[in-house]
Amino acid sequence: MADREFARLERAPAYRLVYDAIERQIIGGKLKIGDPLPAETQLAEQFGVNRSTVREGIRLLEQSGLVEREGGKRPRISVPHYMDLASSASRALFHHSVTFRELWEASMLIEPALAEIAATKATDGDLADMEANIARMEAATTRIEAHEPFDVDDFVDLDRAFHDILAKAAHNRVLILAHEPVSMLFIPAGRLILPRLHTHRRVLDAHRFIFDGLKQHDVAKTRKWMRLHMQDFRRGYEMTGLDVDMTLDATRLGLSD
């Protein structure tokens, strides 16, 4: 057999090894929420590295939300906010060049499931938040139809907020974490579709039907209208001439114009 050539192995930076070691302790339950980290000098001695390396590892833990620091106190183990986790997941999906089709297929599983569960769990507070969001979208749609100046980003933000409220109304943290990264990556597509097809009223009507299902605690109706809403979103995407198999990085950068 001919000799094979292998690329040189890349060694992880020492601070990343510090991060990984502490993360394993957290995941394994040896370090619990609220526990303070040992002093930098103690960690440096245990890991066999200098203090600056430990400091960089802790800084990475802070950025990921696994550690928080109050004032000059020692860092403590914390719970990452789900939005921080969602942002990281969105960046990973973006860098892996996922397509609109892949994203939409995932949303067709996640969004109707969230709607179905929310129809059984939504509280009065959840419904009030959703009703207020719909009222703001109604006012925005009226201004747009009257040809008054309106920023498309503001409408996209209202649309996303509706879906975020619905996700939270399901009171299922696993599904919320699954929903957020997908929701974030749909934003560029919404910015492209709305100005071209002027589907503001159509989006608003779909939200009203979904809200009616939630308010009535009608699982079948809520799920049905969420599915129709997501199918409509894909049709709008295709009607703009965008390729569903195009990577989302091209959509985000506006290369499809």
pLDDT at 178: 87
CA 167 from chain centre, in angstroms, equals 11
Tens of pLDDT, residues 16-59:
888 888 888 887 778 888 899 999 999 999 999 999 889 988 98
25, two tokens:
């302790």
Tens of pLDDT, residues 112-144:
999 999 999 999 999 999 999 999 999 999 999
* Dist. CA 97–CA 189, nearest whole Å: 15
Q: Is the pLDDT of residue 8 over 70?
A: no
Query: Which domains are assigned to the chain?
Result: 14-77 (1.10.10.10), 83-252 (1.20.120.530)
Contacts of 149 (CB under 8 A, 6+ apart): none
- The candidate with the shortest Cα–Cα distance to 15, out of 55, 63, 43, 72, is 55
Tell which wins on pLDDT, 3 or 239: 239
* Dist. CA 182–CA 110, nearest whole Å: 9
15 and 56 in contact (C-beta within 8 Å)?
Answer: yes
> What per-residue string of b and e applies to 149-164 under the rule 16 or more CB within 10 Å gives b?
ebeeeebbebbbbbbb
Mind giving me the DSSP string for 63-122?
Answer: HTTSEE--TTSPPEE-PPPHHHHHHHHHHHHHHTT-BHHHHHHHHHHHHHHHHHHHHHH-
* Dist. CA 75–CA 103, nearest whole Å: 37
